[in-house]
């Protein structure tokens, strides 16, 4: 055991070995979970991570697009009744916890109406139902979590887009474009959206990263087989194993690996935000070139 975990080595070497394992995603073996006959933690995480990416990216793309489009429309009719209604809807939507809305929708659509199947993390095997059957089952189980994610999260994107676009519509060049008789649709989706895209994109990505924790809790509510559900199982089973079986099996490696993966996802998200800001606003790159020339 000591040789396997390098516990017989000096502390400096152990730190070095641990850093190498993190970089190479070698998190050791799980005490309880097995994938494909092996207990490698990286394989266990990779079995759950695609479901998280599928649901989160699909929902984020849809509710961001809806929020941006409605936000631009609200900014176009600023201080009107339509703007007030949209603002009220966005404030209500963004103030509702995702996990709470998930429980309410589960009670209504699953337990009361029976339109949605009871929560279960298990999917049929492809060899039993075929690819089309598996995709059908996946879409059915994905429908309510996706609907909840869109309904709860689009308000923040709407509010951000509306506020940014409202300020841009007061700029002089927008007034000049309107005075020249340029169609309003071109003013909104050409001039305004082009200027508003960098801050909207940055705020959207930051909002996604900050809401990721609530999304992982929602996975537990819907029993969606993502890393949030896996993290809950690892924590819960580690804490109850001693009471039920008289032995303590703590999934320290699995829990640490999931937290590390979440940190990596956050760093990648921030890096993508920086890249997109530079692509959407070339002045950022031009400014850096001028600063280099000045030096």
- The predicted-structure confidence for 182-241, as pLDDT tens digits, reads as follows 888 888 888 888 888 888 888 888 888 877 777 888 888 998 888 888 888 888 776 655
* Contact assessment for residue 216 and residue 231, using Cβ atoms and an 8 Å cutoff: yes
Look at 150 and 241; give whichever has higher pLDDT: 150
Taking only the tens place, the pLDDT of each residue in 115-144 is 888 887 776 666 677 788 888 888 888 999
* Angle value at C-alpha 161, between 270 and 169, nearest 5 degrees: 125
- Please report the pLDDT score of residue 262 as a whole number: 87
pLDDT tier at 9 (50, 70, 90 boundaries)?
low
| Backbone conformation region of residue 248, classed left if phi is above 0, alpha if psi is from -120 to 50, else beta | beta
Residue 216 to residue 49: CA distance in whole angstroms: 11
Q: Is 47 exposed, middle or buried (0-12, 13-18, 19+ CB in 10 A)?
A: middle
Matching residue, tokens 């509010």? 159
Spatial CA neighbour of 101 closest among 8, 217, 204, 7: 217
Supply the pLDDT for residue 144.
92
Among the listed residues 218, 222, 209, 212, the one whose alpha carbon sits nearest the alpha carbon of residue 99: 218
pLDDT category of residue 106 using cuts at 50, 70 and 90: very high
CA distance to 30, 137, 206, 256, per residue, from 262 (Å) = 18, 27, 14, 10
Q: What angle separates helix 41-76 from helix 126-168, to the nearest 10 degrees?
A: 40
Name the residue with higher pLDDT: 286 or 76. 76
Given a cut of 80, whether residue 246 has pLDDT beyond it is: no
At 85 the three-state DSSP class reads helix
State mean pLDDT over 253-259: 84
**Do the beta carbons of residue 49 and residue 227 sit within 8 Å?**
yes
Q: 192 is written with which tokens?
A: 């305004």
Paired tokens of 226: 């993502």
Distance in Å from the first CA to the final CA of the chain: 57
Structure-token pair, residue 275 = 């890249």
Given this model, what pLDDT does residue 44 score?
Answer: 85
Give the residue ranges of DSSP H helices in 24-125. 41-76, 81-95, 98-105
Nearest in space to 228 (alpha carbons), one of 86, 121, 147, 108: 121
Q: Which residue's structure tokens are 């082009």?
A: 194
Report for 5-9, 38-42, 49-53: range of highest mean pLDDT: 49-53
Q: Which of 4-13, 90-99, 180-189, 211-220 has the lowest mean pLDDT?
A: 4-13
Superfamily of the domain at 31-294: MetI-like (1.10.3720.10)
pLDDT average, residue stretch 275-286: 69
Q: Classify residue 245 by burial, with Cβ atoms within 10 Å: 0-12, 13-18, 19+.
A: exposed
Query: Is 183:259 a contact under the CB 8 Å cutoff?
Result: no
pTM of the model: 0.79
- What does the pLDDT read at residue 105? 93
Q: Which pLDDT score is estimated for 145?
A: 92
Lowest mean pLDDT among 50-59, 167-176, 264-273, 280-289: 280-289
Per-residue pLDDT at 78: 80
Mean pLDDT of 63-78: 87
Picking from 205, 194, 105, 196, the residue whose alpha carbon sits closest to that of residue 156 is: 205
Task: Return the pLDDT at 85.
Answer: 87
pLDDT category of residue 283 using cuts at 50, 70 and 90: low
Is the CA virtual torsion 100, 101, 104, 106 positive or negative? negative
- The average confidence (pLDDT) of the chain is 80
Per-residue pLDDT, 290: 42
Grouping H, G, I as helix, E, B as strand and the rest as coil, residue 245 is helix
- What average pLDDT does the segment 246-275 reach? 79
């Amino acid at each position: 055991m000591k040789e396997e975990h390098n516990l017989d080595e000096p502390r400096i070497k152990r730190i070095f070995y641990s850093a190498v394992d993190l970089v190479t995603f070698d998190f050791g073996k799980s005490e309880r979970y097995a994938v494909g006959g092996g207990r490698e933690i990286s394989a266990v995480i990779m079995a759950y991570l695609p479901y998280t990416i599928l649901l989160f990216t699909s929902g984020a793309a849809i509710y961001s697009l809806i929020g941006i489009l409605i936000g631009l429309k609200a900014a176009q009719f600023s201080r009107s009744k339509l703007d007030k209604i949209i603002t009220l809807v966005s404030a209500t939507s963004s103030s509702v916890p995702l996990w709470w809305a998930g429980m309410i929708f589960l009670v209504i659509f699953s337990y009361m109406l029976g339109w949605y199947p009871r929560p279960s993390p298990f999917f049929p095997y492809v060899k039993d139902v075929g690819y089309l059957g598996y995709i059908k089952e996946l879409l059915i189980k994905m429908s309510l979590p996706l609907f909840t994610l869109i309904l709860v999260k689009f308000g923040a994107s709407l509010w951000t887009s509306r506020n940014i676009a409202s300020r841009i519509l007061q700029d002089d060049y927008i007034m000049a474009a309107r005075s020249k008789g340029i169609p309003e649709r071109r003013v909104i989706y050409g001039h305004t959206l082009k200027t508003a895209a960098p801050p909207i994109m940055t705020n959207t990505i930051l909002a996604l990263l900050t809401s990721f924790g609530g999304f992982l809790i929602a996975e537990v509510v819907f029993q969606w087989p993502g890393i949030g559900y896996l993290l809950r199982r690892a924590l819960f089973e580690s804490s109850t194993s001693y009471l039920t079986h008289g032995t303590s099996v703590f999934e320290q490696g699995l829990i640490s690996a999931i937290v590390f993966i979440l940190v990596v996802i956050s760093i990648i998200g921030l890096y993508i935000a920086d890249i997109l800001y530079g692509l959407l606003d070339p002045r950022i790159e031009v400014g850096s070139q001028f600063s280099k020339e000045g030096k």
